[in-house]
Chains A and B, each alone.
Chain A
Amino acid sequence: MRVMKGLLWKEWRQYYKYFLLAFIVFGLEPVLVPITYWVYRSGRADAWSDGIKTILATGSSTTEAVAIIAVIVLAALMLAGERGSGLNYLVSTPVSRREIITTKYIVGSLAVLAIMLFISLFLIVAGQLLPASYSTLEVIQWATLTTAALLCLFSLGLLVATFSGGILSSIIFAHVIVGLPWILVSLTLQVFRQFCQVSSALELKARYIVTYLFIPDYITRDRRYIWSGNNSQFIDRVMPDYPLEITILLLASLLFFWLAIKIFEKNPLERQGELLLFGNFKKIGAIFLSFLMALGWAGDVASSLTSFLAYFLVMWLGIYLALVALMRIIAWLGLSRVRP
């Protein structure tokens, strides 16, 4: 464990600037905006807190979006960013791969925790000292749920970075996975709407499921908005169940972390860290991508449910085989340029 201390020091020394940046980025709305109000002193005494109130209530899109992206980017930087240089050095030292990824998880999570803590304290203290349109309880509710969601996203980002090759591909892929429940359900509903009557009750049920699978939706305080796919209108609201949701998020976070350890331990660092997709990932990616493409394409082309199913199955297989062939060709071309 003494080795962990060394790793913790290294992670801090390597990434403290990024943590600082993340803090500025997260805290831009909640902290900076009120400060500008105080400097300019315009409007009602508690006008400065209006923006905050919105953030706390709905998870205002800018802060939410920015925080989600920031946390995923941080995870990508911390793991994928080290491949090729530092990671190769590290793996030849007396640290195990498990220790490497565990310290990254700990340090990143602590950073997120600290940033959220700081912002919450600021808001609570400001709310106590000055008249504000929000209460301390609201801050606490928002902060705990948001922190849990962000930790879950960070963990997911780290997991994705264990098997995707570079920083950019980690970031993109992590975002794709986060959005997956939403994409899948919307696509399926759209396809089925063509051939069957999709009752609004069914649609609502589907959307309820999505809202619990779609992590960003957890970043709300007092209600969830269920959006319909076609028009941006909310069709219902759901009260968040704090203890349950926080537990789900933290458990998911631990699950992603455990998976990340398993994958990272098996993952070879070949060819000085260039493109290390571990074998099966390519196949899974191909199966998956072809599934989505077949779903959309068959939906467009088919005229009845049976023909849709037929088209879908044929297309899924066909696109999958085409993708595998494509990957083989790319690998062959790559190999003929670079002799190992």
Chain B
Amino acid sequence: MWLEINPRSSTPIYQQVVDGVKELVARGILVPGERMPTVRELAVELSLNPNTIAKAYQKLEQEGIIETMRSRGTFVAGRTEVLDKEMAREQLEGLVEKVLVEAYHLGLNREDIKQLFEESLDNWEKRGGK
């Protein structure tokens, strides 16, 4: 399973793994029900500290992205209904604001921003994202 990890990034490595897995799921490269590599397998494959991978898996499980079935392994979780749209929106709001701040400093106006979002969504869906 290929993840791009940059040990020099200011983002902690475990968070990069979490983000990487989330992206793969979002893009449809990892499908629900698909078996995830074990902590050991992934650690060896990426040459990372197994404790880091374990931490990442813990977080992924907390966020509901993956689930562990005893003695069968770890699998990508099925896509659950967004039961709590409110919570989801709250989480995303923060990220969106960050994007808006950047956009402001880069000099984009409201129309430019909207256009950017539309185009990105189109591209995303074209590539198979959901």
- State yes or no: do A and B touch (Cβ within 8 Å): no
